[in-house]
Copies of this chain bind each other. A is one copy, B any other.
Amino acid sequence: MTLSVRPYAADDAAALWAMLKPVFRAGDTYAVNRDISKEDALEFWLGSGHAVFVAEDRDVLGTYFVCPNKAGGGGHVANAAYVTAAGFGGKGVARAMLVHSLDTARAMGFRAMQYNFVVSTNTRAVDTWLRAGFEVVGRVPGAFNHPDHGYVDAFVMHKPLVSDGD
């Protein structure tokens, strides 16, 4: 598998929805309404201010976006979200998107990357972020109602993108 990561194009809408749909329908990783419509899901992912990318081999196998985490005095911190196509977990797609997203955020001038709501039972994601140098800077008790596990904690995770002197 030779992955490349490129900006999202309007032609990718069907492939994007095909990736988002099972993740949102499962309701175990994203705090998104499980019955969200295609239109609302695409609007959520392609929101104003989002830089959206897809990872592809022959097919589109993943997508991510980077955006400002907050406006105003919070505008120097990026937020991002990632989805890997069903059946392609554990093949390095998320890792490739992570590396690309950190470079993208740095190039956009962000000083840090913050994930606001990492569901604690999503251990594959948590482990990926920890290995990439993210720290858990917050743990919100019972923040997520998991379809199988009930109320589980959510992590706030953070990684600086510049050194202190910058």
Contact = CB atoms under 8 A, between A and B. Distances in A.
Interface of A: 24, 27-28, 30-34, 36, 69-77, 111-112, 114, 116-117, 119, 137-147, 151, 154, 156, 158, 160
Contacts of A28: 73
Q: How many copies of the shown chain assemble into the complex? A: 2
Q: Which of A28, A72, A77, A117 has the most CB of B within 10 A?
A: A72
A122 to B, nearest CB: 11
Nearest to A76: B145
B74 A145 contact: yes
B74 A143 contact: yes
Contact of A31 (B27, B72, B142): B72
